[in-house]
Amino acid sequence: MRINNDQIKASNKELLDVHKEDLVQLAKKHKNLEQIIDTIAKYNIAIPSWALGAGGTRFGRFGFGGEPGNLEQKLDDVAVINDLTGSANAVSLHIPWDIPGNAEAIKAKAHLLGLNFDAMNSNTFQDQQDQEHSYKFGSLCHTDKVVRDQAVAHNKEVIDQGVALGSKSLTVWLADGSNFPGQLNFRRAFENTLASLKEIYAYLPADWKMFIEYKPYEPNFYSMVIQDWGTSHMLAKDLGEKAFTLVDLGHHLPNTNIEQIVATLVTKGMLGGFHFNDSKYGDDDLSVGVIKPYQLFLIFNELVYGFDNNKANNPIPAWMIDASHNLKDPLEDLIQSVEAIETAYAKALLIDQKALEKAQLANDVVASQRILQDAFQSDVKIILAEARLRNGAALDPIEAYRKMDVRKELINERGMNNAATGL
Ligand code: PSV
Ligand code: MN
Protein backbone atom coordinates (compact mmCIF):
# COMPACT_ATOMS: atom_id res chain seq x y z
CA MET A 1 0.00 0.00 0.00
CA ARG A 2 1.06 3.59 -0.58
CA ILE A 3 -0.06 6.60 1.41
CA ASN A 4 -1.12 9.47 -0.84
CA ASN A 5 -1.02 13.23 -0.39
CA ASP A 6 -4.77 13.57 0.03
CA GLN A 7 -4.75 11.17 2.96
CA ILE A 8 -1.97 13.16 4.60
CA LYS A 9 -3.76 16.46 4.00
CA ALA A 10 -6.99 15.05 5.41
CA SER A 11 -5.20 13.84 8.54
CA ASN A 12 -3.54 17.24 9.02
CA LYS A 13 -6.70 19.28 8.48
CA GLU A 14 -8.06 19.12 12.02
CA LEU A 15 -4.70 19.90 13.62
CA LEU A 16 -3.55 22.66 11.31
CA ASP A 17 -5.08 25.78 12.88
CA VAL A 18 -3.85 25.06 16.39
CA HIS A 19 -0.45 24.12 15.02
CA LYS A 20 -0.09 27.44 13.17
CA GLU A 21 -1.03 29.39 16.31
CA ASP A 22 1.48 27.41 18.38
CA LEU A 23 4.18 28.10 15.82
CA VAL A 24 3.64 31.86 16.01
CA GLN A 25 4.01 31.72 19.79
CA LEU A 26 7.16 29.61 19.55
CA ALA A 27 8.78 32.00 17.07
CA LYS A 28 8.58 34.70 19.76
CA LYS A 29 10.67 32.49 22.03
CA HIS A 30 13.45 31.30 19.71
CA LYS A 31 15.32 33.66 17.40
CA ASN A 32 16.78 30.85 15.30
CA LEU A 33 13.54 28.89 14.96
CA GLU A 34 13.48 29.00 11.14
CA GLN A 35 16.99 27.61 10.93
CA ILE A 36 16.19 24.78 13.33
CA ILE A 37 13.02 23.84 11.47
CA ASP A 38 14.99 23.84 8.23
CA THR A 39 17.73 21.61 9.67
CA ILE A 40 15.20 19.13 11.04
CA ALA A 41 13.21 19.16 7.78
CA LYS A 42 16.35 18.19 5.84
CA TYR A 43 17.40 15.49 8.30
CA ASN A 44 16.88 11.81 7.38
CA ILE A 45 17.37 8.56 9.24
CA ALA A 46 17.82 5.14 7.63
CA ILE A 47 15.40 2.37 8.57
CA PRO A 48 16.86 -1.11 9.20
CA SER A 49 15.22 -3.66 6.92
CA TRP A 50 15.37 -6.20 9.76
CA ALA A 51 13.15 -4.15 12.09
CA LEU A 52 10.07 -4.12 9.86
CA GLY A 53 8.80 -7.39 11.27
CA ALA A 54 8.32 -8.35 14.90
CA GLY A 55 11.56 -8.88 16.74
CA GLY A 56 12.15 -11.88 18.89
CA THR A 57 14.35 -13.24 21.64
CA ARG A 58 15.90 -16.66 22.05
CA PHE A 59 12.78 -17.50 24.07
CA GLY A 60 10.39 -16.90 21.25
CA ARG A 61 8.92 -14.58 18.74
CA PHE A 62 5.39 -13.29 18.50
CA GLY A 63 4.62 -12.45 14.88
CA PHE A 64 2.78 -9.34 13.83
CA GLY A 65 0.14 -9.56 11.11
CA GLY A 66 0.95 -8.09 7.70
CA GLU A 67 4.73 -8.30 8.07
CA PRO A 68 6.67 -7.77 4.83
CA GLY A 69 7.56 -11.13 3.28
CA ASN A 70 10.12 -9.91 0.76
CA LEU A 71 12.36 -6.97 -0.05
CA GLU A 72 9.75 -5.24 -2.22
CA GLN A 73 7.30 -5.24 0.67
CA LYS A 74 9.99 -4.01 3.05
CA LEU A 75 10.52 -1.03 0.76
CA ASP A 76 6.77 -0.38 0.80
CA ASP A 77 6.86 -0.30 4.60
CA VAL A 78 9.81 2.09 4.72
CA ALA A 79 7.89 4.33 2.31
CA VAL A 80 4.97 4.38 4.76
CA ILE A 81 7.31 5.58 7.51
CA ASN A 82 8.86 8.13 5.18
CA ASP A 83 5.53 9.41 3.87
CA LEU A 84 4.27 9.95 7.41
CA THR A 85 7.43 11.40 8.97
CA GLY A 86 9.16 12.96 5.96
CA SER A 87 12.44 11.91 7.58
CA ALA A 88 13.20 8.32 6.63
CA ASN A 89 14.20 8.28 2.98
CA ALA A 90 16.69 5.43 3.23
CA VAL A 91 16.88 1.77 4.14
CA SER A 92 19.81 -0.23 5.46
CA LEU A 93 19.85 -3.80 4.13
CA HIS A 94 21.21 -6.94 5.77
CA ILE A 95 22.61 -9.67 3.52
CA PRO A 96 21.59 -12.51 3.11
CA TRP A 97 18.30 -11.62 4.81
CA ASP A 98 17.58 -9.19 1.97
CA ILE A 99 19.25 -10.49 -1.18
CA PRO A 100 17.68 -8.55 -4.07
CA GLY A 101 16.59 -10.97 -6.81
CA ASN A 102 16.77 -8.27 -9.43
CA ALA A 103 18.83 -5.31 -8.26
CA GLU A 104 17.76 -3.04 -11.14
CA ALA A 105 14.08 -3.62 -10.41
CA ILE A 106 14.59 -3.07 -6.66
CA LYS A 107 16.53 0.11 -7.31
CA ALA A 108 13.80 1.37 -9.64
CA LYS A 109 11.12 0.59 -7.06
CA ALA A 110 13.05 2.36 -4.32
CA HIS A 111 13.48 5.35 -6.60
CA LEU A 112 9.74 5.49 -7.28
CA LEU A 113 9.09 5.42 -3.54
CA GLY A 114 11.63 8.21 -2.94
CA LEU A 115 14.04 5.91 -1.10
CA ASN A 116 17.75 5.18 -1.34
CA PHE A 117 20.09 2.58 0.11
CA ASP A 118 22.17 3.40 3.15
CA ALA A 119 24.89 1.10 4.52
CA MET A 120 24.85 -2.58 3.57
CA ASN A 121 25.31 -5.00 6.49
CA SER A 122 27.15 -8.27 6.12
CA ASN A 123 26.30 -11.31 8.21
CA THR A 124 28.99 -13.74 9.27
CA PHE A 125 27.35 -14.39 12.64
CA GLN A 126 24.92 -17.04 11.40
CA ASP A 127 25.47 -20.11 9.27
CA GLN A 128 23.38 -20.16 6.12
CA GLN A 129 21.98 -23.23 4.40
CA ASP A 130 24.48 -24.69 1.94
CA GLN A 131 27.33 -22.76 3.52
CA GLU A 132 30.53 -24.79 3.32
CA HIS A 133 32.30 -23.76 6.54
CA SER A 134 30.71 -22.92 9.90
CA TYR A 135 31.12 -19.66 11.82
CA LYS A 136 30.63 -21.43 15.11
CA PHE A 137 34.16 -20.49 16.18
CA GLY A 138 34.32 -17.14 14.46
CA SER A 139 34.51 -15.69 10.97
CA LEU A 140 37.09 -13.00 10.11
CA CYS A 141 39.13 -14.04 13.17
CA HIS A 142 38.87 -17.81 12.63
CA THR A 143 41.88 -20.02 13.24
CA ASP A 144 41.32 -21.68 9.86
CA LYS A 145 42.09 -19.61 6.76
CA VAL A 146 39.39 -21.29 4.68
CA VAL A 147 36.74 -19.96 7.06
CA ARG A 148 38.27 -16.49 7.02
CA ASP A 149 38.36 -16.58 3.22
CA GLN A 150 34.70 -17.54 3.09
CA ALA A 151 33.78 -14.63 5.40
CA VAL A 152 35.88 -12.22 3.35
CA ALA A 153 34.20 -13.45 0.15
CA HIS A 154 30.77 -12.86 1.73
CA ASN A 155 31.67 -9.26 2.56
CA LYS A 156 32.86 -8.72 -1.01
CA GLU A 157 29.56 -10.08 -2.30
CA VAL A 158 27.71 -7.67 -0.03
CA ILE A 159 29.73 -4.83 -1.51
CA ASP A 160 28.78 -6.03 -5.01
CA GLN A 161 25.10 -6.12 -4.05
CA GLY A 162 25.42 -2.63 -2.60
CA VAL A 163 27.12 -1.27 -5.71
CA ALA A 164 24.24 -2.60 -7.82
CA LEU A 165 21.75 -0.74 -5.58
CA GLY A 166 23.66 2.52 -5.29
CA SER A 167 24.70 2.11 -1.66
CA LYS A 168 27.98 3.72 -0.61
CA SER A 169 28.97 1.91 2.56
CA LEU A 170 29.46 -1.41 4.30
CA THR A 171 28.88 -1.99 8.00
CA VAL A 172 30.80 -4.87 9.50
CA TRP A 173 29.67 -6.27 12.83
CA LEU A 174 31.36 -9.42 14.04
CA ALA A 175 30.05 -11.83 16.63
CA ASP A 176 33.58 -13.25 16.78
CA GLY A 177 34.95 -13.89 20.24
CA SER A 178 35.03 -16.56 22.89
CA ASN A 179 32.91 -17.93 25.69
CA PHE A 180 35.66 -19.37 27.84
CA PRO A 181 39.04 -18.13 29.03
CA GLY A 182 41.77 -19.84 27.09
CA GLN A 183 39.49 -20.68 24.16
CA LEU A 184 41.02 -18.09 21.87
CA ASN A 185 44.35 -16.38 21.54
CA PHE A 186 43.46 -12.68 21.71
CA ARG A 187 46.41 -11.49 19.68
CA ARG A 188 46.00 -14.08 16.96
CA ALA A 189 42.28 -13.32 16.71
CA PHE A 190 42.98 -9.60 16.42
CA GLU A 191 45.69 -10.10 13.78
CA ASN A 192 43.47 -12.44 11.74
CA THR A 193 40.60 -9.96 11.93
CA LEU A 194 42.78 -7.09 10.79
CA ALA A 195 44.20 -9.12 7.89
CA SER A 196 40.68 -10.17 6.80
CA LEU A 197 39.37 -6.62 7.06
CA LYS A 198 42.29 -5.45 4.94
CA GLU A 199 41.19 -7.77 2.14
CA ILE A 200 37.62 -6.45 2.34
CA TYR A 201 38.84 -2.87 2.51
CA ALA A 202 40.96 -3.37 -0.61
CA TYR A 203 37.78 -4.39 -2.44
CA LEU A 204 35.84 -1.24 -1.45
CA PRO A 205 35.03 1.09 -4.36
CA ALA A 206 36.80 4.44 -4.18
CA ASP A 207 33.69 6.34 -3.07
CA TRP A 208 32.68 3.81 -0.39
CA LYS A 209 33.16 3.82 3.37
CA MET A 210 33.53 0.95 5.78
CA PHE A 211 31.96 1.18 9.25
CA ILE A 212 33.30 -1.04 12.01
CA GLU A 213 30.83 -1.78 14.80
CA TYR A 214 31.97 -2.83 18.27
CA LYS A 215 30.18 -4.66 21.07
CA PRO A 216 31.41 -5.71 24.54
CA TYR A 217 29.53 -9.00 24.82
CA GLU A 218 26.86 -11.15 23.17
CA PRO A 219 26.71 -13.60 21.56
CA ASN A 220 30.08 -14.33 23.11
CA PHE A 221 30.19 -13.83 26.85
CA TYR A 222 33.87 -13.93 27.75
CA SER A 223 35.47 -11.90 24.96
CA MET A 224 34.56 -10.16 21.74
CA VAL A 225 37.33 -9.52 19.22
CA ILE A 226 36.06 -5.97 18.55
CA GLN A 227 34.90 -5.24 22.05
CA ASP A 228 35.01 -1.45 22.20
CA TRP A 229 35.38 1.80 20.29
CA GLY A 230 39.13 1.84 20.88
CA THR A 231 39.55 -1.49 19.11
CA SER A 232 37.28 -0.39 16.28
CA HIS A 233 39.20 2.87 15.96
CA MET A 234 42.54 1.05 15.90
CA LEU A 235 41.36 -1.26 13.12
CA ALA A 236 39.86 1.60 11.11
CA LYS A 237 43.07 3.60 11.46
CA ASP A 238 45.12 0.66 10.20
CA LEU A 239 42.80 0.15 7.24
CA GLY A 240 42.84 3.67 5.84
CA GLU A 241 40.82 6.80 5.30
CA LYS A 242 37.65 5.07 4.10
CA ALA A 243 37.24 3.20 7.41
CA PHE A 244 35.40 4.58 10.45
CA THR A 245 33.95 3.57 13.79
CA LEU A 246 30.21 2.97 14.10
CA VAL A 247 28.51 3.65 17.43
CA ASP A 248 25.56 1.39 18.26
CA LEU A 249 24.09 2.91 21.42
CA GLY A 250 23.28 -0.52 22.86
CA HIS A 251 26.85 -1.76 22.54
CA HIS A 252 28.31 -0.36 25.75
CA LEU A 253 28.63 -1.60 29.28
CA PRO A 254 26.13 0.06 31.66
CA ASN A 255 26.73 3.76 32.36
CA THR A 256 29.40 4.22 29.69
CA ASN A 257 29.69 7.86 28.72
CA ILE A 258 28.69 7.49 25.08
CA GLU A 259 28.55 11.22 24.39
CA GLN A 260 32.22 11.47 25.32
CA ILE A 261 33.07 8.65 22.91
CA VAL A 262 31.19 10.51 20.18
CA ALA A 263 33.04 13.75 20.97
CA THR A 264 36.42 12.04 20.87
CA LEU A 265 35.70 10.25 17.60
CA VAL A 266 34.60 13.50 15.93
CA THR A 267 37.74 15.22 17.23
CA LYS A 268 39.73 12.58 15.37
CA GLY A 269 37.47 12.54 12.29
CA MET A 270 36.67 8.86 12.91
CA LEU A 271 32.92 8.81 13.58
CA GLY A 272 31.31 6.86 10.74
CA GLY A 273 27.75 6.46 11.89
CA PHE A 274 25.19 5.37 14.42
CA HIS A 275 22.88 2.52 15.16
CA PHE A 276 20.28 4.25 17.31
CA ASN A 277 18.31 2.33 19.91
CA ASP A 278 17.92 2.43 23.68
CA SER A 279 18.61 0.05 26.53
CA LYS A 280 18.36 -0.39 30.24
CA TYR A 281 20.65 -3.37 30.74
CA GLY A 282 22.51 -4.51 27.64
CA ASP A 283 21.86 -4.61 23.91
CA ASP A 284 18.12 -4.40 24.56
CA ASP A 285 17.36 -2.81 21.16
CA LEU A 286 14.47 -0.84 22.63
CA SER A 287 12.88 2.06 20.76
CA VAL A 288 15.12 5.11 20.66
CA GLY A 289 14.76 7.52 23.57
CA VAL A 290 12.51 5.42 25.80
CA ILE A 291 15.00 4.88 28.61
CA LYS A 292 17.68 7.57 28.41
CA PRO A 293 16.45 10.57 26.41
CA TYR A 294 18.88 12.89 28.23
CA GLN A 295 21.82 10.77 27.08
CA LEU A 296 20.57 10.97 23.51
CA PHE A 297 20.27 14.74 23.82
CA LEU A 298 23.84 14.95 25.17
CA ILE A 299 25.06 12.88 22.22
CA PHE A 300 23.38 15.32 19.85
CA ASN A 301 24.90 18.21 21.75
CA GLU A 302 28.34 16.74 20.95
CA LEU A 303 27.29 16.29 17.33
CA VAL A 304 26.05 19.86 16.96
CA TYR A 305 29.22 21.21 18.58
CA GLY A 306 31.39 18.68 16.74
CA PHE A 307 30.10 19.57 13.28
CA ASP A 308 30.20 23.32 13.99
CA ASN A 309 33.86 22.82 14.94
CA ASN A 310 34.82 20.07 12.56
CA LYS A 311 38.57 20.55 12.39
CA ALA A 312 39.32 16.94 11.48
CA ASN A 313 36.81 17.03 8.63
CA ASN A 314 34.71 14.18 9.98
CA PRO A 315 32.25 13.24 7.22
CA ILE A 316 28.55 13.51 8.07
CA PRO A 317 27.76 10.26 9.89
CA ALA A 318 25.37 7.61 8.63
CA TRP A 319 22.22 7.88 10.76
CA MET A 320 20.65 4.48 11.17
CA ILE A 321 18.24 2.86 13.58
CA ASP A 322 18.99 -0.61 14.91
CA ALA A 323 16.08 -1.56 17.12
CA SER A 324 14.03 -4.68 17.26
CA HIS A 325 10.88 -5.08 19.24
CA ASN A 326 8.62 -7.76 20.46
CA LEU A 327 5.45 -6.02 21.38
CA LYS A 328 4.64 -3.01 19.25
CA ASP A 329 3.52 -2.65 15.67
CA PRO A 330 6.99 -2.42 14.04
CA LEU A 331 6.03 0.56 11.90
CA GLU A 332 4.62 2.51 14.83
CA ASP A 333 7.74 1.67 16.78
CA LEU A 334 10.04 2.93 14.01
CA ILE A 335 8.00 6.12 13.70
CA GLN A 336 8.46 6.64 17.43
CA SER A 337 12.20 6.07 17.07
CA VAL A 338 12.46 8.56 14.21
CA GLU A 339 10.59 11.12 16.32
CA ALA A 340 12.82 10.50 19.34
CA ILE A 341 15.99 11.07 17.32
CA GLU A 342 14.64 14.28 15.83
CA THR A 343 13.47 15.44 19.24
CA ALA A 344 16.98 15.03 20.67
CA TYR A 345 18.47 16.78 17.65
CA ALA A 346 16.04 19.72 17.79
CA LYS A 347 16.66 20.17 21.51
CA ALA A 348 20.42 20.11 20.95
CA LEU A 349 20.01 22.78 18.28
CA LEU A 350 18.32 24.97 20.91
CA ILE A 351 21.43 24.95 23.11
CA ASP A 352 23.03 28.36 23.29
CA GLN A 353 26.51 27.13 22.34
CA LYS A 354 28.12 30.54 22.84
CA ALA A 355 26.71 30.93 26.34
CA LEU A 356 27.74 27.34 27.11
CA GLU A 357 31.30 28.00 26.00
CA LYS A 358 31.41 31.15 28.10
CA ALA A 359 30.15 29.29 31.16
CA GLN A 360 32.59 26.43 30.57
CA LEU A 361 35.56 28.77 30.21
CA ALA A 362 34.55 30.52 33.42
CA ASN A 363 34.12 27.13 35.13
CA ASP A 364 30.57 28.13 35.97
CA VAL A 365 29.20 24.66 36.54
CA VAL A 366 25.73 25.79 37.54
CA ALA A 367 25.31 27.97 34.46
CA SER A 368 26.56 25.18 32.16
CA GLN A 369 24.02 22.78 33.58
CA ARG A 370 21.21 25.34 33.30
CA ILE A 371 22.00 26.02 29.64
CA LEU A 372 21.84 22.34 28.78
CA GLN A 373 18.75 21.67 30.83
CA ASP A 374 16.89 24.71 29.53
CA ALA A 375 17.26 23.31 26.03
CA PHE A 376 16.44 19.76 27.10
CA GLN A 377 13.28 20.86 28.90
CA SER A 378 12.01 22.84 25.89
CA ASP A 379 9.06 21.43 24.02
CA VAL A 380 10.09 20.80 20.41
CA LYS A 381 6.96 18.97 19.24
CA ILE A 382 5.86 22.00 17.22
CA ILE A 383 9.28 22.23 15.54
CA LEU A 384 9.08 18.61 14.45
CA ALA A 385 5.48 19.00 13.30
CA GLU A 386 6.32 22.07 11.21
CA ALA A 387 9.33 20.29 9.65
CA ARG A 388 7.05 17.41 8.70
CA LEU A 389 4.43 19.76 7.30
CA ARG A 390 7.03 21.37 5.05
CA ASN A 391 8.00 17.90 3.79
CA GLY A 392 4.39 17.09 2.95
CA ALA A 393 4.21 14.62 5.86
CA ALA A 394 1.83 14.20 8.79
CA LEU A 395 1.57 16.64 11.69
CA ASP A 396 1.02 13.64 13.97
CA PRO A 397 2.36 10.51 12.23
CA ILE A 398 1.14 7.90 14.73
CA GLU A 399 -2.33 9.42 14.82
CA ALA A 400 -2.40 9.50 11.02
CA TYR A 401 -1.14 5.90 10.78
CA ARG A 402 -3.92 4.76 13.06
CA LYS A 403 -6.63 6.80 11.34
CA MET A 404 -5.55 5.40 7.97
CA ASP A 405 -5.75 1.88 9.39
CA VAL A 406 -2.43 1.04 7.76
CA ARG A 407 -1.88 -2.20 9.68
CA LYS A 408 -5.33 -3.47 8.78
CA GLU A 409 -4.61 -2.74 5.11
CA LEU A 410 -1.28 -4.57 5.33
CA ILE A 411 -2.93 -7.58 6.94
CA ASN A 412 -5.58 -7.59 4.20
CA GLU A 413 -2.85 -7.44 1.57
CA ARG A 414 -0.35 -9.88 3.07
CA GLY A 415 -2.24 -11.99 5.56
CA MET A 416 -1.62 -12.69 9.22
CA ASN A 417 1.25 -15.13 8.88
CA ASN A 418 3.74 -13.44 6.60
CA ALA A 419 7.02 -13.45 8.51
CA ALA A 420 9.78 -10.95 7.82
CA THR A 421 13.33 -12.25 7.49
CA GLY A 422 15.79 -11.30 10.21
CA LEU A 423 16.98 -12.58 13.52
C1 PSV B 1 24.49 -6.71 16.64
O2 PSV B 1 23.96 -6.72 17.91
C3 PSV B 1 23.86 -5.62 15.77
O4 PSV B 1 23.82 -4.42 16.47
C5 PSV B 1 24.56 -5.47 14.46
O6 PSV B 1 24.40 -4.17 13.96
C7 PSV B 1 23.82 -6.43 13.59
O8 PSV B 1 23.98 -6.21 12.23
C9 PSV B 1 22.41 -6.25 14.06
O10 PSV B 1 22.53 -5.98 15.45
C11 PSV B 1 21.60 -7.47 13.79
O12 PSV B 1 20.32 -7.36 14.35
MN1 MN C 1 23.94 -2.53 15.46
Q: Note the ligand closest to the C-alpha atom of 226.
A: 1
What is the structure's pLDDT at 423? 65
What is the structure's pLDDT at 56? 82
* Residue 396, ligand 1, Cβ within 6 A: no
CB-based burial label for 201 (10 Å; 0-12, 13-18, 19+): buried
What is the structure's pLDDT at 281? 96
Distance 322 CA to ligand 2 centre (A): 5
What is the structure's pLDDT at 253? 98
What is the structure's pLDDT at 353? 97
Residue nearest to atom 12 of ligand 1 (CA): 423
* 3-state SS, residue 320: strand
Residue nearest to atom 6 of ligand 1 (CA): 173
CA distance 313 to 194: 25
* Residue 213, ligand 1, Cβ within 6 A: yes
What is the structure's pLDDT at 57? 83
Number of the ligand 1 atom closest to the C-alpha atom of 422: 12
What is the structure's pLDDT at 63? 84
What is the structure's pLDDT at 420? 77
What is the structure's pLDDT at 55? 84
Distance 377 CA to ligand 2 centre (A): 29
Beta strands in 242-359 (DSSP E): 243-248, 271-276, 318-321
Residues across the chain: 423
Distance 38 CA to ligand 1 centre (A): 32
* Residue 50, ligand 1, Cβ within 6 A: yes
* Residue 208, ligand 1, Cβ within 6 A: no
Site to substitute for ligand 1 among 286, 322, 324, 326, most atoms within 8 A of C-beta:
322
Q: Bridge partners of 46?
A: 90, 320
One DSSP character per residue, 366-386 reads HHHHHHHHHHHTS--HHHHHH
Q: Quick one: which H or E segment has residue 387?
A: helix 381-390
What is the structure's pLDDT at 48? 97
Distance 213 CA to ligand 2 centre (A): 7
Q: Which of 325, 317, 357, 372 is nearest to 341 (CA)?
A: 317
What is the structure's pLDDT at 298? 99
* 3-state SS, residue 19: helix
Site to substitute for ligand 1 among 118, 135, 229, 248, most atoms within 8 A of C-beta:
248
* Low-confidence stretches of the chain (pLDDT beneath 50): none
One DSSP character per residue, 213-270 reads E--SSSS-SSEETT-SHHHHHHHHHHH-TTEEEEEETTSS-TT--HHHHHHHHHHTT-
Peptide bond preceding 219 in cis form (omega within 30 of 0): yes
3-state secondary structure 167-211: CCEEEECCCCEECCCCCCCHHHHHHHHHHHHHHHHHHCCCCCEEE
Q: Which of 76, 71, 47 is nearest to 161 (CA)?
A: 71
* Residue 173, ligand 1, Cβ within 6 A: yes
Number of the ligand 1 atom closest to the C-alpha atom of 218: 2
Buried (b) or exposed (e) across 145-182, using 16+ Cβ within 10 A? eebbebbbebbbebbebbeebebbbbbbbbbbbbeeee
Distance 108 CA to ligand 1 centre (A): 27
Q: Which of 238, 234, 161, 243 is nearest to 208 (CA)?
A: 243
> Identity (one letter) of the amino acid at 133?
H
Distance 9 CA to ligand 2 centre (A): 35
Q: Which of 52, 120, 121, 56 is nearest to 82 (CA)?
A: 52
